[in-house]
């Protein structure tokens, strides 16, 4: 959770009238880059305080928001999990980026878990006037596929998709196994006790989340070259080998198939799902890896890989 004081909170109203909670972690040193961060399922942006504070201390301004249906963007119980279809999810990201303060600093987009899949889909399908301003993309434990032990029966998925057409906003509890979220028992306890992490999706929202993952795994959504600033795609992927929620093997396979010159895969041996909250020095290592990749690409724009 976040205990920092150097931040700015606010709200942003979407074109259809939803009030999104926003938060910016400001730098205490000269700023070198900006990062827009997209949180995951049953999550909210204030659960990344340690990571965002570390990044801001290294000169990276972090802009984030609670997605519709999650966190402080829920203003009544009936809004829980009402994320809308993928077109709405991408539109909200676009609206948030368009409303950032004007800046000449390089812009990066990062997401965790469900938000990681959204980041990848945004790179491939987001409006070009936005993606051409994004210096690089980062994904943490992206939802390419559920871990084999966590995958629902195919019949259950098929019936759920059918039902989502009839009752799209019907709430459905999709409880994650808290013990598999993080190796730090205190983080697990806080996450379980956090009323904003409500584990509730809607049939349409859950179907959209599964469809995004399936399209990435099956190669229907292609993250190729030319999807970022300067006509280049720059991508960092981090995943723990012991992630029992989002499958490590599926993520690694996806990464290997990417036809992108400037890409990096960081394997965290034995780590769980929330890499940013892993115990002891592990979360420090993760924050350092993310900051290094961003800062290495935050100087004067060059073609291809940066000169490290």
Q: Does domain 7-296 have CATH number 3.40.50.300?
A: no
pLDDT attached to residue 308: 37
pLDDT attached to residue 152: 57
pLDDT attached to residue 155: 41
Q: What is the mean pLDDT of residues 254-260?
A: 97
pLDDT attached to residue 204: 85
| Ramachandran assignment for 117, one of left (phi > 0), alpha (psi -120 to 50 degrees), beta (any other) | alpha
CA 64 to chain centre: 10
Q: Give strand pairing partners of 268.
A: 240
* SS3 annotation, 156-173: HHHHHHHHHHHCCCCEEE
Instruction: For residues 279 and 259, give the distance between their C-alpha atoms in angstroms, rounded to a whole number.
Output: 34
Is the pLDDT at 24 greater than 70, yes or no?
Answer: yes
Answering whether pTM is above 0.85, one says yes
Q: What is the pLDDT of residues 42-67, one digit of tens each?
A: 999 999 999 999 999 999 999 999 99
- Cα distances (angstroms) measured from residue 149 to each of 72, 109, 130, 156: 31, 30, 37, 15
Q: What is the pLDDT of residues 280-301, one digit of tens each?
A: 999 999 999 999 999 999 988 7
- Both tokens assigned to 221: 């959504």
Is the pLDDT at 5 greater than 90, yes or no?
Answer: no
pLDDT attached to residue 303: 55
Instruction: For residues 96 and 104, give the distance between their C-alpha atoms in angstroms, rounded to a whole number.
Output: 17
Q: What is the pLDDT of residues 116-173, one digit of tens each?
A: 999 999 999 999 999 999 999 999 999 999 998 866 545 445 555 555 565 567 777 7
CA angle at residue 35 from 130 to 223, to 5 degrees? 50
Is the pLDDT at 175 greater than 90, yes or no?
Answer: no
Instruction: For residues 196 and 199, give the distance between their C-alpha atoms in angstroms, rounded to a whole number.
Output: 9
The answer to whether the Cα torsion of 119, 121, 127, 129 is positive or negative is positive
Instruction: For residues 238 and 294, give the distance between their C-alpha atoms in angstroms, rounded to a whole number.
Output: 13
> Average model confidence (pLDDT) for the chain?
91
Residue 287: its H or E element? helix 282-296
Residue 52, helix vs strand vs coil: helix
Sorted by sequence, the CB contacts under 8 Å of residue 5 that are 6+ apart come out as none
Locate the domains of the chain by residue range. 7-296
Q: What is the mean pLDDT of residues 7-22?
A: 97
């Amino acid at each position: 959770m976040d205990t920092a004081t150097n931040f700015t909170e606010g709200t942003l109203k979407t074109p259809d009238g939803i009030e999104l909670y926003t938060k910016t972690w400001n730098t205490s040193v000269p700023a070198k880059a900006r990062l827009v961060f997209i949180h995951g399922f049953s999550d909210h942006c204030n659960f990344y305080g340690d990571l965002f504070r570390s990044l801001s201390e290294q000169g990276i301004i972090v802009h984030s928001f609670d997605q519709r249906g999650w966190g402080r963007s829920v203003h009544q119980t009936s809004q829980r999990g009402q994320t809308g279809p993928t077109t709405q999810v991408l539109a909200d990201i676009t609206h948030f980026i368009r409303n950032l303060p004007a800046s000449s600093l390089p812009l990066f987009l990062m997401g965790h878990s469900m938000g990681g899949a959204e980041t990848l889909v945004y790179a491939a399908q987001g409006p070009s006037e936005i993606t051409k301003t994004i210096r690089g993309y980062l994904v943490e434990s992206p939802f390419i596929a559920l871990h084999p032990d966590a995958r629902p029966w195919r019949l259950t998925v098929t019936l759920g998709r059918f039902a989502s057409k009839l009752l799209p906003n019907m709430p459905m509890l999709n409880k994650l196994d808290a013990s598999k979220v993080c190796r730090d028992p205190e983080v697990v306890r806080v996450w379980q006790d956090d009323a904003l992490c409500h584990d509730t999706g809607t049939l349409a929202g859950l179907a959209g989340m599964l469809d995004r993952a399936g399209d990435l795994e099956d190669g229907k959504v292609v993250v190729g070259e030319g999807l970022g600033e300067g006509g280049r795609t720059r991508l960092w992927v981090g995943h723990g080998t012991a992630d029992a929620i989002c499958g490590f093997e599926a993520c690694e396979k996806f990464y290997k198939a990417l036809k992108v010159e400037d890409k990096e895969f960081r394997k965290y041996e034995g780590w769980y799902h929330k890499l940013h909250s892993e115990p002891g020095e592990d979360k420090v290592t993760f924050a350092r890896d993310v900051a290094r990749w961003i800062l290495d690409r935050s100087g004067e724009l060059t073609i291809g890989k940066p000169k490290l």
